[in-house]
Structures are given as C-alpha cells and as structure tokens.
Structure 1
Amino acid sequence: MDLTQVKHEIETLAEKHRDEFEVVSAYIFAHPELAYHETLAQDQLCGLLEKHGFKVQRGAGSLETAFVAEYQSGKPGLTFAFMCEYDALPEIGHACGHNLIGTSGAGAAVILKEIMEKYGIGGTLKVLGTPAEENGSGKITMLDEGIFDGVDMALIMHPSDMSMADDISFAAVNKTYTFTGKPAHTAACPWMGASALNGVLQMFHAVDSQRLHFKDYTRVHGIIVEGGTVVNIVPERAVCRFNIRALDAEYLKDVISVIDRCAKGAAICAGVDVEIQQNGYLIKDVRNNRELVTAVEKNMDFIGEHHIPRDLTQGIGSTDVGNVTQALPAAQFYIGVGEGLGTHTAAFADAAGGEAGRRALTAAVKVLAMTGLDMMSGRS
C-alpha cells in the first residue's frame, strides 16, 4: 500500500463529504448546548456515524450524552479512537469551536473506515463522544468508568487562532473555602463575634505572600462568593473560591497544599473555622504522544496547512484531554480559524461558525484521518 497515494484519496474523500460534514457542524453551532445536555449534538454525530456503518451506543457509563461508535475490521490491529467534544459555553455558544471538534472527529472516522475497508487494514476504529469538556471534564469520568479501556491510541483536534501540531496545558483544580465564625452586633457587642469574612481576607493576603515562591507559570486566582449579609452584623459565614493551575499535575499538588495551608492559617488568625472542598476533578496537563505529534506535523505539511510551534508564550488553558494523554498514548493538536482570535470570545464564535470554521473543519478531517491511517497501517 502506497501511503502517499492513500492520503491523496483521503483528501479526495474529505472534499467529497465536505457538504455533509458542514451540515452537521452548522447544526451543532446553531443549537448550542451546555455540559451534560448535549442531546441534539449527540444525535447529529451518532446519526452521521450510523449512516456510514458504525455500531453506535448512545450514552456511555453514567453519562447520557456521551457515545461510543465502533467499526471492527475483523482483523488484528490497533484500536484507534477519535475523541469528540460538542458542548457549548453559556451566552456565547460555540466560542470554543466544539462544533468543529465533534464533527471533525466523526468525519475523520467516516473517511478512515472507507480506507480501512478498501485496503483491508486491520484493527478497530472508535469514536468517543466526550461531553462536558467546558464544565465537568467528561473524559475523566469516562476514564474512571472504563470507557477508554482497550484503546491503544486516541487523537483530537481543537480549533485555535493558529495551527499547531503539539499542545501545552495547565494542570488545574477548583476549590471552595467556607469560613464559619460567630455573629454579633457590630455596634453593641462586636467583641462577642468572630468574623468569617476576616478569615477570607486573611487567606487572600496569605496567598499573595506565597506568590513569590511559586514556580513560573503557576496561576492562582480567587473570588469572594459570600462575605456577609448586612453591615451591622459580624459575618458568620464567608466563602471564597480559587482556581489553581500549574504546568504539571505533580507540582500542582504542592501548590494546592500551600493554598490549603493559607486557608487553615487564616482561620486560626481570625479565630474561625474553615471547610475545604475540591470542586470536580483535578485536570492534568497535556503530555502529547510524540509519535502522534510527529505524524500530525507531517500530515499538516502534506495538505499544505501552515503551522507554528506550540510554546509557553501563547495562551495556555486546561483540558480534560490532559488526563487522557497521561492514561494512554494520545494527543491534541490545533487547526487555526484566524490569527489573533482568542477562544471564548464572540469573534471566535463567529469564526467557528463561518467560512474560516468550514475551512478548518475540512483540514482537520484530513489530518485526523491521515494520522489515524499512519498509526493503524503500521500495526495491522
């Protein structure tokens, strides 16, 4: 099998199916759904995959809007998975381009299945529908519940301003600190009270005092959620929330210990109690598989997709893809929709739903399918 010739066939198939894939992406874009409520997007992607001969399971583990689609060649080989995201953001819809992520993963699978059938490539091809990336980290739930078990490699594309074959992300966690004191009238008998708000304020000062000692690219930012109800009563309850990020999950745990220590010390200072709660999962940093990154880079070159190196000077976020990359060989790469555009903005949403997004969708389908071919054809 001449891989170069087969990749040209993938290009042809991507153009052949272009209108079909764009209709799915446009529908998802026009009907944005928040985490765990992505029923319409799930139906669109599952319908596309069923139409092209995949065995599809709607719902996976405890997640009703997840899905697993599978094509078994009947021959030994790699189990390769494309990951799909399809949840939207409040108010600004698909300003992170998940309409493109979901459709590109499903579209690449449709094309790669045709290639596998034509050339007798062995292995199993899967599409994993992973809901709630924006708020819930559905991939971590799916990892914990065994949905990724048996997958040898996994790949996903994310839109960005520029195309990049590699990724960097923060490990991250959200925590809530609830301080409980003793109420008292602030004019008549303030000495009888203990201010929970003072505990919160002391915590912020303590955290600021530690910033000098954090490694570079550590991010710690918080807000006060509750700080009392009336000014003439010593606040009995005060609540703050912190988002804590670091470049690797191991160091993140060290930073969390420092922030927790600040909370406990602040409570002692203020003479109040503090309850510490983690909100959701600890999201790990992305550690892309180098074989996949190399293949993605070569396939970007093959289709003429201009790309730049990924580095720390660019905007860095957090994603549950990181947990997947630390559980099995996996990678995330980027296809650009417009230089200078930042995700989670109205301008990025316009690009994801417009001509730039349609261009990126076709490019992503090609690179995903070609990279899947590279991996599966070498292990048949």
Structure 2
Amino acid sequence: MKSILEKEGKKIHANLCEISDYIYENPELGNEEFKSSEKLISFLQDHNFEIEKEFLGIKTAFRATYDSKKEGATIGYLCEYDALPEIGHGCGHNMIGSMSAGAGIILSKVLDEVGGKIIVYGTPAEETNGAKVIFAEEGVFDELDAAMMVHPGDKTLASGKSMALYPLQFTYKGKTAHAASCPHEGINALNAIIQLFNGIDALRQHVTPDVRMHGVITQGGVAANIVPDEATAQFYFRAGTKETLDDILEKVKNIAKGAALMTGATLEMSRYELPNDNLKTHENLSSAFMENLKALGIEDIHGPKETGSSDIGNVSHKTATIHPYLSISNCPLTGHSVQMANATITDLAHERLLTGALALAFTGLDVLNKKIEL
C-alpha cells in the first residue's frame, strides 16, 4: 500500500513545491499568516478535506478533516507557516506547512480502504504565541492517536527533546520623588528590579545544568533625577522538564516577592506570552518514521538533539508526538537566518518536500495498520 502512497505523492509533488515557494515569497508574521493559511486551506479543500476556518477564534488557524467513517486511529499533522521579522522563513515553516498538508492528502487516498481519520491542523505563530499551546489547553489534541511534523535543517535527525519554557513579567510600582532633594520620600521601583536580578543570579548556582534563566529590563525610569515609580522586567525560564521548571518558578516568585519587601515596592507578576512544555518524543513512533525515511532513500541519519523551546512540546503531553529534522542542504545551515530561508527553495529542498511528506504519510499508515505500539 505504501507504493500507492508514493504514486499519490508524485501526483502532488509540483503542488508542494509551488505552495512552499509561495509561502516563502509571501512571509507573514505570527497570527498574520492570511495568505499562507489560505493557500494551505485551498490545497486541502481541493482534496476533499472538510475545513474549519478561524479555528478556536484564531483568524489564521484551521482544522482540516478527512474522515473515512470507519473505525480506526486518528492521525494528526501539524502545519506551521509563520515567518521571522526581516529574515522571512529562516525556520523553514514554508516547508513544514507544505509537507504536513501533503502528508494528510497523500494518506487520505487510501483512508477509505484502511479506516480511521486524518486531521491537518493549521497552527499559527510558532515563533511567538504558538497556537499549539492554545489547542493543547483546549483539549484539541486529545482526539489524536498520534501527532507528527518534520522540520527542515542541515542534518537529518531523529526526534529528540526540547526545553520547557515559561515567560514571566515582573512589574514593580513605587513612588516618585526628586532624586537629589528628597529621595527619602520616594520608593524606587528600579531598585526592586535590580534586587530581582541579583536574587535570580544567586539562584543560578543551585539549579541543575538544564536550567536557563534570562531576562531584560523593559522599563526602568524616565530620568536620572527622578526616583522611578515603575519598573518592569521580562524573563524566560527554561528547564529540561516541565516538573523542574515548575519548581524553579516557585523559587523565582519568592525572590520577586522578597525584592518587593526589601524596597517597599508593590509587585505584579504576569505571563506575558504562552508557555511551552518540554517535547517528549514517542520513541516507537520516531523509530517507525526513521525506518520510513530509510525506505525512501535517506541514509545519513543522525541521533536526536535537544532544541530550545517550541509549542510542539505541549502537543507531546497530550498524545504520541514526533518532531524530526530532514536535511535540505549539503553544507551547514544556521537556523533563523536568511541562508536557511534561501535553502528552502533549492532543488534539494524541493526534492525533500516529497520525501518528508511521504515519510509522514508512511508513518501514519503504520499507525492505522497497528504496526506501531502507541
């Protein structure tokens, strides 16, 4: 049956290249991907997928379903299509969206015979407020037996790990006063921020090596001769697992409260972006994907690596998930670069669009045929 999928893949190969190039040529930032999402929606509609636009109220999100109406597993493919400011598609999301949509379409051609359901999700804004986080919080991925996507890169890598991330904003409020004539009448909010940074720096020697804590002061006062009455800092806190991160956050929040007590300022803490859970790769699903890549002629395959943070992690806490990498270059590439963006429209990248879509479709078929223990 995989030979049938190969034939179906070849039929849409030109479409995959055209869509990927179109999204590359029309880069759109997160939650502004109107052209990109519409391009993918039209492609899926042409192949009899039922579309829910503006899914969960997110204007550029969608849910596309092909249902055999027969008993079987539900396979999810995840489309990304947001670009980076100034750089464009330096993370290859033009390819990711095309491969995931292509995989869903290819697999749909045998679904009426095999049974089960395919859902292709349009998930905007991976680079910022990743929609997958919202989808996961709303229980969307609970409907899946497996979720998959493949990321372009300079090496082919098995699905690995990503770090859990929590963005936290600290706002301290004090009282203005003349910094020379009556500083004793003021409450210095910037001092509270400085104590916050000092406290977090002191915590660094008491955390495990996987922990990352990095922040900036976004507001610290308006003039040197005025005691600042408001100051704000934004931090990213990361760790190898969500559980470790939760423990770090509790300690950080106590440090922040201590800084307020030390200075007399009041404190407000808020989540200023959406958090990411750590990616938990499903090893059986990952092994099957790698075997399918080998069957498609990909031989130079490397082991997994740990990446930064991504909303794919939130998916993996809901269902069996993989996020492998597929090489599109014969030389090193730097992620989030113009070089990476330009590599997505080369002849090799066009060839790998089909390879990635087929490997995803093959793995979906393995799940439907119960060849993978989930």
State the TM bucket, normalised to the shorter chain. Answer: over 0.9
Alpha-carbon distance in structure 2 between the residues aligned to 1:168 and 1:202: 33
Q: Which of 5, 28, 35 matches 2:23? A: 28
Counterpart secondary structure, 1:281? coil
The 3-state SS of whatever aligns with 2:124 is: coil
Retained in 2: the 8 A contact 1:60–1:147?
no
1:40 is matched with 35
Show the counterpart of 2:166.
173
The one-letter amino acid of 2:313's match is G
Instruction: Report the secondary structure of 2:273's partner residue.
Output: strand
1:100 paired to 2:95:
yes
Q: Which of 311, 315, 318 pairs up with 2:305?
A: 311
**What does residue 3 of structure 1 align with?**
none
Q: Give the CA deviation at 1:160.
A: 2.4
Q: How far apart, CA to CA, are the structure 2 residues paired with 1:353 and 1:201?
A: 47
Say if 2:194 is the partner of 1:197: no
User: Which 10-residue stretch deviates more, 271-280 or 224-233?
Assistant: 271-280
2:365 counterpart of 1:373? yes
Cα deviation digits, residues 259-287 of structure 1 (max 9, x gap): 21221222222232221111233310011
- Matching residue of 1:184: 177
Secondary structure at the counterpart of residue 125 of structure 1: strand
Number of equivalenced pairs = 370
Residue pairs, 1:239-278, within 5 angstroms:
239-278=232-271
Q: Please, which moves more after superposition, 204-213 or 52-61?
A: 52-61
Does the aligned pair in 2 maintain the 1:156–1:332 contact within 8 Å? yes
- Could you report, residue by residue, the CA deviation over 1:141-196 in whole angstroms, capped at 9, with x for unpaired residues? 12333433422221111222211121210000111111112211112112222211
Q: Which amino acid aligns with 2:357?
A: V
**2:141–2:318 contact (8 Å) kept in structure 1:** no
Query: Are 1:214 and 2:207 an aligned pair?
Result: yes
Q: CA RMSD for the aligned pairs?
A: 1.7
User: Among 144, 147, 166, which residue is 1:151 paired with?
Assistant: 144
Q: Distance in 2 between matches of 1:229 and 1:344?
A: 34
Runs of 5+ in structure 2 lacking a partner?
A: none
Distance in 2, Cα, partners of 1:145 & 1:259: 28
SS of structure 1 residue aligned to 2:60: strand
After superposition, the C-alpha distances for 1:20-65 in whole angstroms (9 at most, x for unaligned) are 1110111111111111121111111111111112222222122121
The offset of 1:377, in angstroms, is 2.0
> 1:322 corresponds to which letter in structure 2?
G
Q: Aligned partner of 1:307: which letter?
A: I
DSSP 3-state at the match of 2:275: strand
Taking the aligned partners of 1:145 and 1:172, their CA distance within structure 2 comes to 19
Question: Cα distance, 1:357 vs. partner?
Answer: 2.8
TM-score, normalised to structure 2, is 0.94
Provide, for residues 51-91 of structure 1, a one-character-per-residue CA deviation record: whole Å limited to 9, x for no partner: 11222222212212111111122321111111111111122
Aligned-pair distance for 1:210?
0.9
Q: Quote the residue 2:106 is aligned against.
A: 111
Paired position in structure 2 for 1:18: 13
CA contact (8 A) 2:99 2:357 kept: yes
For residue 328 of structure 1, the aligned residue among 301, 319, 323 is 319
Aligned to 1:352: 344
The residue identity in structure 2 corresponding to 1:61 is L
Inter-partner Cα distance in structure 2 for 1:346 and 1:159: 14
How far, CA to CA, are the matches of 1:278 and 1:74 in structure 2?
41
Select 1:284's aligned residue among 249, 273, 277.
277
Question: Share of identical aligned residues, percent?
Answer: 35
Q: Does the 8 Å contact 1:169/1:317 carry over to 2?
A: yes
Distance between the aligned counterparts of 1:50 and 1:362, measured in 2? 20
CA spacing shift, 1:356–1:269, aligned 2, 3 Å:
farther
Whether the 8 Å contact between 2:159 and 2:305 is mirrored in structure 1 is no
Q: Distance in 1 between matches of 2:332 and 2:199?
A: 36
* Farther-moved stretch of structure 1 (157-166 vs 293-302): 157-166
Report the residue type matching 1:347 in the other structure.
Q
Give the Cα separation in 2 of the matches to 1:220 and 1:131: 26
State the 1:356 CA deviation. Answer: 4.0
Q: TM-score, normalised by structure 1?
A: 0.93
- In the aligned structure 1, how far is the partner of 2:137 from the partner of 2:239? 23
CA–CA distance in 1 between the matches of 2:85 and 2:203?
Answer: 34
Residue 328 of structure 2 aligns with an amino acid whose one-letter code is V
Aligned 8 A contact 1:61 1:147 in 2: no
Answer yes or no: is the 8 Å Cα contact 2:142–2:318 preserved in 1. Answer: no
Tell me by how many angstroms 1:340 deviates.
2.8
- 1:83 counterpart residue number: 78
Aligned position for 2:156? 163
d(CA) in 2 for partners of 1:62 and 1:149? 19
Q: Partner letter of residue 280 of structure 2?
A: R
Q: Which runs of 4+ in 1 moved over 6 A?
A: none
Quick check: 1:66 aligned with 2:58? no
Name stretches of at least 5 consecutive residues in structure 1 with no aligned partner: 1-5
